Amino acid sequence: MFKTIPIFLLLGFIACSVLAISSYRAEQPGVRLFTKYFSAVPMQGYSTQRSLAAGMKEADASIIRQAYVYHEATNYDLALVSFRAYLESNPVPKSDETLLLAGTAAVAAGEYAEGAEYLDQIEEGGEFTAEAWWYLALIDLQQGDLAAARGELKRVTGSNYGQLFPVKEVLGKIPVR
């Protein structure tokens, strides 16, 4: 009799743990989708660093090259520090790619609001617009704003580069409330 009590307690603990994990997953669909689909690596790859720094002051050129090196090396915290330094003295960067990489570095570092701020500055209709909308949708998913994420994903679908992203797959996994 005394040997069966610990077995029943263990089975009860396991059942409660499984129930808690499954209910947590059901309540956090956006976070799961964000985790599955977010990658800070740009869809179009990285530009040549020399072309980015052309025509800049040497200090700015050095900072932006370092930011790109850190980003490419997946050291997003240091990349974000470098992007912040560069964007402080160049609030309107030469390329929207700088804003895209600053935004993805911020998101990868857990600074979602800052990442969204950079991504929102990307010129609409430009080369990086669809990618910015994709990342904004992922930020919305991470924050639990499923309606806003759906809106951003629909914008991606209607863009010239919409086919580069698994939009239909993500839209199919967002629960309708």
pLDDT single digits (tens) 61-84: 899 999 999 999 999 999 999 999
Q: What is the mean pLDDT of residues 152-177?
A: 88
User: Does the pLDDT at position 12 exceed 80?
Assistant: no
Q: What is the mean pLDDT of residues 150-168?
A: 89
What local confidence, expressed as pLDDT, does residue 125 receive? 86
What local confidence, expressed as pLDDT, does residue 24 receive? 47
pLDDT band at 164 (very low <50, low <70, confident <90, very high): confident
What local confidence, expressed as pLDDT, does residue 177 receive? 64
User: Does the pLDDT at position 8 exceed 80?
Assistant: no
Q: What number of other Cβ atoms are within 10 A of residue 125's Cβ?
A: 8
What local confidence, expressed as pLDDT, does residue 21 receive? 59
Predicted TM-score of the model (pTM): 0.80
What local confidence, expressed as pLDDT, does residue 141 receive? 95
User: Does the pLDDT at position 115 exceed 50?
Assistant: yes
Cα–Cα distances in Å, from 40 out to 1, 55, 85, 131?
Answer: 57, 27, 19, 11
Q: What is the mean pLDDT of residues 156-168?
A: 87
